[in-house]
């Protein structure tokens, strides 16, 4: 079968392309923006990529078109699919029908940490010999691709709450029917499709409704929005996680920090110490992710001590505080954070690791929610752990310079935040502020105009 994918370079649709290719289908796809790591992965799989959306992309008429949720009516290729009466389907529906049916699905949902937690859980199962299938919304460092069919009954999936397609407004994860479900957290996001956080809670409740009574739901002990979602109805056993003494009651799984930056912690199960995680990851958010992954792995038979041993060898995920270069003591990181909470936890994790060393953050508010200014009141404070913050206004949002000017007017360090509207201007500002060893964190959920390698090249040229 010839399957053509619209929006193929998105992390989810690109992963579907890999699975379809593994199933033996001929796969092609088109996208407006093609950038690594997904484009590199697809090319390595022998999947044909077409730049831009054009009816001509359908001349070798496919048997089925999978339409990504970034597509809408009016897109020329979408219109051609409809006008030519080509069979089409949403990505989540195809995945559920062709891959997930009759398998034990372990799903990871939540506003933050889905990709990392999914990768942790997958790595634990891999080290235990499960050979599970998986789909991760990124490229795990410990695996060559972002998805595979696997050879066992188990399938690990990152479960996104975003809608399925322009013709199916249900959240993607409603299609997956997990037996083991991790709910990492719940906050307001995706303002382009959800009116408020209550609407997201309702979708999470719909997901909870699909988990069998013999299944398991794992959640943090402290999350009021998850409380609301579960209070709408839950028919499945729930286990809670916590860090330190943050809750006055006994959580099922708890982490005792042995290092402030989260690089070492003791896993405690029902108040019994299990084993110590000593790994390369940092940040309390990653400690929480690890606890959830350990609990989920135990549900399918992996003992906690074996899970801990696996996590000690976990290499992380591309674009999650990935160290790209060390140029004469100037460390350049790439991170996917695109929500104030994610920005806060990532930068605080780095601060706890590097102490008083200088941190410079380059942040692109790129998501639809960010561009609408939904998080204006928490956006600048979210970067408090950085010494200097340069905001990228590449989409010319009127509110961002005004926000920074107003913040600087009342701040003790008025030059701490600045705004630039081009990649070249951003790089120039960075070079002005870098005077010695420091840590530069580039944060965006997109390609950021190729700033990563451009900046590294300039740093190398200046120190050469």
Burial class (CB in 10 A: 0-12, 13-18, 19+), 157: buried
Query: What is the C-alpha separation between 54 and 44, in angstroms, rounded?
Result: 24
Write the secondary structure of 368-419 as one string of H (helix), E (strand) and C (coil).
HHHHCCCCHHHHCHHHCCCCEEEEECCCCCCHHHHHHHHHHHHCCCCCCEEE
> In sequence order, what E strands does 32-78 have?
48-51, 64-67
Mention every residue, 6+ apart, whose C-beta is less than 8 A from residue 364: 391, 392, 394, 443, 444, 446, 448
137 CB-side CA count, 13 A: 22
Other beta carbons within 10 Å of 83: 9
Tell me the per-residue pLDDT of 404-423, one tens digit each, with 9 for 90 and over: 887 777 666 667 898 999 99
Tell me the per-residue pLDDT of 133-146, one tens digit each, with 9 for 90 and over: 999 987 778 888 88
Residue 342 in tokens:
């994610």
Task: Report whether pLDDT(296) > 90.
Answer: yes
- For the chain, percent of residues with pLDDT exceeding 70: 95
Delineate the domains of the chain, giving CATH numbers in brackets. 2-90 (3.40.50.720), 102-311 (3.40.1190.10), 322-463 (3.90.190.20)
Where does the pLDDT of residue 189 fall: very low under 50, low under 70, confident under 90, or very high at 90 and above? confident
Residue 68 in tokens:
């990504």
Query: What is the C-alpha separation between 181 and 188, in angstroms, rounded?
Result: 20
Tell me the per-residue pLDDT of 425-449, one tens digit each, with 9 for 90 and over: 999 999 988 888 999 999 998 778 8
Owner of token pair 């929005």: 225
Where does the pLDDT of residue 218 fall: very low under 50, low under 70, confident under 90, or very high at 90 and above? very high
Nearest CA-CA partner of 92 in 27, 138, 157? 157
Query: What is the C-alpha separation between 335 and 351, in angstroms, rounded?
Result: 15
Task: Report whether pLDDT(179) > 80.
Answer: yes
Q: Which carries the bigger pLDDT value, residue 367 or residue 339?
A: 339
Q: Which carries the bigger pLDDT value, residue 191 or residue 238?
A: 238
Average pLDDT of 236-257? 91
Write out the DSSP string of 212-236: -TTSEEEEES--HHHHHHHHT---S
């Amino acid at each position: 079968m010839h399957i053509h994918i619209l929006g193929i370079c998105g992390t989810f649709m690109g992963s579907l392309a890999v699975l379809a290719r593994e199933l033996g289908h001929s796969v092609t796809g088109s996208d407006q923006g093609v950038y690594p790591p997904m484009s590199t992965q697809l090319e390595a799989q022998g999947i044909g990529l077409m730049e831009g959306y054009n009816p001509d992309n359908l001349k070798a008429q496919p048997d089925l078109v999978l339409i990504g949720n970034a597509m809408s009516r009016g897109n020329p290729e979408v219109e051609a699919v409809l006008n030519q009466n080509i069979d089409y389907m949403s990505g989540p529906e195809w995945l559920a029908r062709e891959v997930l049916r009759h398998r034990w699905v372990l799903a990871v949902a939540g506003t933050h940490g889905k990709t990392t937690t999914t990768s942790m859980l997958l790595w634990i199962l891999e080290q235990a010999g499960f050979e599970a299938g998986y789909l991760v919304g990124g490229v795990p460092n410990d695996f060559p691709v972002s998805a595979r069919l696997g050879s066992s009954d188990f399938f690990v999936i990152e479960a996104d709450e975003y809608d399925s397609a322009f013709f199916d407004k249900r959240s993607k994860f409603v299609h997956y029917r997990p037996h083991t479900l991790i709910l990492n957290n719940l906050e307001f996001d995706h303002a382009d499709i959800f009116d408020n956080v209550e609407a997201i809670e309702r979708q999470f409740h719909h997901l909870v409704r699909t988990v069998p009574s013999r299944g398991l739901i794992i959640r943090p002990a402290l999350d009021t929005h998850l409380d609301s979602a579960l209070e709408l109805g839950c028919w499945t056993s729930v286990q809670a996680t916590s860090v330190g003494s943050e809750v006055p009651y006994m959580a099922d799984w708890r982490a005792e920090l042995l290092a402030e930056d989260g690089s070492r912690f003791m896993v405690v199960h029902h108040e019994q110490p299990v084993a110590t995680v000593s790994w390369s990851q940092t940040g309390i958010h990653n400690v929480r992710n690890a606890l959830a992954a350990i609990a989920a792995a135990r549900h399918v038979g992996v003992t906690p001590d074996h899970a801990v041993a696996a996590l000690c060898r976990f290499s992380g995920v591309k674009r999650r505080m990935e160290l790209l270069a060390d140029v004469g003591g100037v460390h350049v990181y790439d991170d996917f954070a695109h929500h104030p909470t994610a920005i806060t936890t990532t930068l605080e994790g780095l601060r706890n690791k590097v102490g008083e060393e200088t941190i410079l953050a380059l942040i692109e508010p790129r998501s639809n929610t960010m561009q609408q200014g939904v998080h204006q009141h928490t956006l600048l404070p979210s970067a408090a752990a950085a010494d200097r913050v340069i905001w990228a206004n590449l989409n010319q949002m009127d509110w961002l310079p005004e926000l920074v000017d107003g913040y600087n007017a009342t701040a003790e360090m008025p030059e701490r935040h600045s705004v630039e509207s081009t990649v070249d201007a951003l790089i120039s500002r960075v070079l002005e502020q870098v005077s010695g060893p420091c840590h530069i964190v580039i944060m965006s959920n997109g390609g950021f105009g190729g700033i990563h390698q451009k900046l590294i090249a300039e740093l190398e040229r200046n120190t050469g």
